Amino acid sequence: MNRRNFLQLAGMGAGAMMLPIPLIGKEVSLEHMLNPIMSVADKKKLANIGLNTAKSKGATYADVRIGRYLNQYVITREQKVQNLVNTESFGVGIRVIANGTWGFASTHDVTKEGIAKATEQAVAIAKANSKFQKEPVKLAPVKGYGDVSWKTPIKKNGFEVPVSDKVDLLLKANSEAKKNGATFVNNRLFLVNEQKYFASTEGSYIDQDVHRIWSFPTITVVDRKKGKFQSRNGLGAPMGMGYEYLEPKAADKIAGPTGTNITLYRNSYDLVQDCIDGAKQAKAMIGAKSIKPGKYSVVLEPNHLGLTIHESVGHPLELDRVLGYEANYAGTSFATLDKWKTKKFNYGSNIVNLVADKTQVGSLGAVGFDDEGVKTKKWHLVKDGVLVNYQAIRDQVHMLDQNESHGCCYSQSWNDVQFQRMPNVSLEPGKEKYSVNDMVKDVEKGIYIVGRGSYSIDQQRYNFQFGGTLFFEIKNGKVTGPVRDVAYQSNTQEFWNSCSKICDASDYRMFGSFFDGKGQPPQVSAVSHGSSTSRFDNVNVINTARKI
């Protein structure tokens, strides 16, 4: 699904009046979703047809992905269910190397004949494209794993929870928000299940069952007298979890710094409480003081900092961007290979450790194996402030003089070709014992920023501007109250070098991006970013209030 279609479905885009026809997949009944379509043994038989056909047609490598992609969306506003959508997409994608060149074809006809035909097409495309190839594809070695499987460690399958329970939860949250002063509430729930079978000529047969969930409310307060409105987005995060994420536990609720009176969430989310809080906070924000522009220490909460990590660390360290493959769309990167080769490029201050990790439990990017059969792992991108590595896949790592793929190859569905996508990229917690109050107590002039807001960064990832959901002024070590009209602007290297203090592991939690876009034609992927509350000094803050 692409972002525009998602917006239409969620009733947020200009096309909201159109028929709600989903993008990937056909809509299906609930019972149908819970029944497996094909056994693993049958998938293996069919996959072998693809692998053997490829080899007999002259391919030197082939992989076959048989995928079933299920989505469920519940879209509400106030006391209305605007849309209930179940979609399913089932098919197979075959990727080959012939004459040293990639070829790809896909089909929804998951039969012997269908797979053989698509494989022949993939080989033919590879051969045709090889005329334009300058250098043959070079794959890093990977072990054949035989028959293996992996499953997101969920406790409760969201697709098995009755839709009425989900509708009830969302409408209850909406009604509580209204009782507490909200004028409007848009509340959406997204569930994703990827059932992926992967086989390759390297000797791997990998069966995976991947789950993701996102509960996303927006609470709006309108003050007609003042002619003003304020929206406050939910403070939960999309997660690689089951429905247990929406069953709140007291231990997962985290208090903000003294004086903020806010509740934040870790591994479970109290949607109803957050909507109540959201209504009260949106109201408070309307009347809050407008920020005075200038230099501030900014104390960034993980559900905010995650997006800054995504844009200023995750994207610039994608090797395909660095090399220029994304130059016409997303852009290139300031973090060039020559900087990396010096082994001295100070990406951040020496307390900054940024890691890529495809194994992190509960994260959106966690899988056992990537979409080209590489076992996933964790590795450093920035160590003690220094740039040490990138994100790369099998046909790229040789450009870094490395011989092991990083395992971050992904495709949004069986009918799109897999390519390098961002793994979870996270800031490691501080080694010294610091609480959120320790972040604030020695700040003379600062702002505590919570949740995601507007975000924009240049095509080489130098200059960025971020807003947020909630802002609190800090004066002489204390939070004095909410402020508004805040955005901060900085330069990536300057910003990460101004990182002066990071909370310890007790404050660590994840932010997520559910629909991250890349490529032409574009594909989406989901990725998490963990961090503990962190402080950055001497950051340029602008005032965004205008009159029209």
Interface with other proteins in residues 51-80 (CB under 8 A): 80
Handedness of CA 223, 224, 227, 229 (dihedral sign): positive
Site residues (CB under 8 A) for other proteins, limited to 29-48: 29
Q: Compute the C-alpha angle 397/398/402, nearest 5°.
A: 70
Q: Does 21 bind other proteins (CB under 8 A)?
A: yes
- The correct pick among 52, 349, 491, 500 for binding other proteins (CB under 8 A) is 491
Q: Does 521 bind other proteins (CB under 8 A)?
A: yes
Q: Which of 110, 47, 526 is nearest to 306 (CA)?
A: 526
- The correct pick among 459, 504, 517, 537 for binding other proteins (CB under 8 A) is 459
166's CB contacts (< 8 A; 6+ apart) are 74, 189
Q: Does 500 bind other proteins (CB under 8 A)?
A: no
Q: Does 442 bind other proteins (CB under 8 A)?
A: no
326's CB contacts (< 8 A; 6+ apart) are 318, 320, 332, 518, 519
- Within 256-385, residue ranges assigned H as helices are 271-286, 302-309, 319-323, 337-341
- The correct pick among 458, 477, 506, 538 for binding other proteins (CB under 8 A) is 458
- The correct pick among 28, 351, 388, 400 for binding other proteins (CB under 8 A) is 28
Q: Does 456 bind other proteins (CB under 8 A)?
A: yes
One symbol per residue from 389 to 418: x for binding other proteins (CB under 8 A), - otherwise; what is it?
----------------------------x-
Q: Are 487 and 455 in contact (CB under 8 A)?
A: no
Q: Does 162 bind other proteins (CB under 8 A)?
A: no
Per the document, the length of the chain is 548
Q: Does 460 bind other proteins (CB under 8 A)?
A: yes
Closer residue to other proteins, CB minimum distance, 82 or 263? 82
Nearest approach, Cβ of residue 459 and other proteins (Å):
5
Nearest approach, Cβ of residue 301 and other proteins (Å):
20
Q: Does 231 bind other proteins (CB under 8 A)?
A: yes
Nearest approach, Cβ of residue 249 and other proteins (Å):
29
Structure token pair of residue 380: 């450093």
Binding span for other proteins by CB under 8 A among 24-32, 64-72, 374-382, 528-536: 24-32
Q: Does 247 bind other proteins (CB under 8 A)?
A: no
- The correct pick among 234, 238, 242, 467 for binding other proteins (CB under 8 A) is 467
Binding span for other proteins by CB under 8 A among 9-17, 240-248, 425-433, 435-443: 9-17
CA distance linking residue 69 with residue 155, whole number of Å? 20
Site residues (CB under 8 A) for other proteins, limited to 282-301: none
Nearest approach, Cβ of residue 57 and other proteins (Å):
19
Nearest approach, Cβ of residue 207 and other proteins (Å):
26
CA distance linking residue 435 with residue 194, whole number of Å? 38
One symbol per residue from 122 to 161: x for binding other proteins (CB under 8 A), - otherwise; what is it?
---x--xx--xxx---------------------------
# chain residues binding other proteins, by CB under 8 A: 77
| Residue 518 backbone dihedrals phi, psi, to 5 degrees | -165, 155
- The correct pick among 48, 60, 82, 346 for binding other proteins (CB under 8 A) is 82
Handedness of CA 83, 86, 90, 94 (dihedral sign): positive
Q: Compute the C-alpha angle 317/321/327, nearest 5°.
A: 150
Q: Which of 264, 77, 280 is nearest to 189 (CA)?
A: 77
Closer residue to other proteins, CB minimum distance, 392 or 487? 487
Closer residue to other proteins, CB minimum distance, 186 or 200? 186
Structure token pair of residue 229: 């409105």
Rg (CA), the chain: 24
Torsion angle of C-alpha atoms 200, 202, 208, 211, degrees rounded to 10: -90
Closer residue to other proteins, CB minimum distance, 250 or 545? 545
154's CB contacts (< 8 A; 6+ apart) are 211, 241, 242, 243, 244
Q: Are 492 and 312 in contact (CB under 8 A)?
A: yes
- The correct pick among 485, 508, 526, 530 for binding other proteins (CB under 8 A) is 485
CA distance linking residue 499 with residue 384, whole number of Å? 12
Site residues (CB under 8 A) for other proteins, limited to 329-368: 329, 331-332, 334
- The correct pick among 41, 225, 251, 343 for binding other proteins (CB under 8 A) is 225
Q: Does 2 bind other proteins (CB under 8 A)?
A: no
Q: Does 224 bind other proteins (CB under 8 A)?
A: yes
CA distance linking residue 486 with residue 475, whole number of Å? 16
Q: Which of 308, 314, 334 is nearest to 465 (CA)?
A: 308
Closer residue to other proteins, CB minimum distance, 40 or 323? 323
One symbol per residue from 306 to 335: x for binding other proteins (CB under 8 A), - otherwise; what is it?
-----------------xxxxxxx-xx-x-
Q: Does 261 bind other proteins (CB under 8 A)?
A: no
Q: Does 81 bind other proteins (CB under 8 A)?
A: yes
State which H helix or E strand residue 263 sits in.
strand 263-265
What are the Cα distances from residue 8, in Å, to 1, 81, 214? Answer: 11, 15, 17
